[in-house]
Amino acid sequence: MLENRDEILKSDDETLSHVCELEFFKGSGNGGQKRNKTSSAARVRLIGTAYVASDCSERSQHRNRAAALAKLRIALAYGERNAPATPPERFECALEHPEYPLWLAHVLDVADANGWDLKATAAALGCSPSALVKKFARDPELWQFANQARVKRELPPLRRP
């Protein structure tokens, strides 16, 4: 369990890069000569953990590094739980917002602390159960994660709104 999860999730790319091992390599797949001859793909590993993320979707090494760091933040939000759970400052947060990984981590902390019970989690977050289901449904990865967590606790999977 990371003691500084929230600080890592709040940090900018430059700060996060200092606590990561960065590796650049030649990407595979479509993209022509640029992709096959330059080391533009990026892999980041959070030092002292098993968290790794990579990206090779762009031709630019800088954009791939930024995308890999974003993926690393999301992986950290899914993988690390903090107790006691504190709800996010606000219930609304767009998927593309820079604070989404931190918001996600806090929502998952609250859901885990409440045993993935929909009503208890929604009450702790200050929203209705249907609003919570809608928030989960907008992110396919979150939807799948929530349903897997509920099934592990022998709860029925969520139904799409």
Say what the pLDDT of residue 69 is: 97
Q: What is the C-alpha to C-alpha distance for residues 107 and 51, in angstroms, rounded to an integer?
A: 20
pLDDT value at position 138?
96
What's the pLDDT score for residue 28?
Answer: 67
- Contact by Cβ (8 Å): 122, 129: yes
Q: Is 31 left (phi over 0), alpha (psi -120 to 50) or beta?
A: left
Question: Cβ neighbours of residue 104 under 8 Å, at least 6 residues apart?
Answer: 74, 77, 78, 142
Closest CA to 114 of 141, 139, 136, 81: 81
Are the C-beta atoms of residues 77 and 115 closer than 8 Å to each other? no
Threshold 0.85, pTM exceeds: yes
pLDDT mean by block of 10 residues, the chain; 161 residues? 85 94 79 64 94 90 93 97 91 94 97 97 96 97 97 95 85
pLDDT of amino acid 59: 80
What tokens does 112 get?
Answer: 């885990």
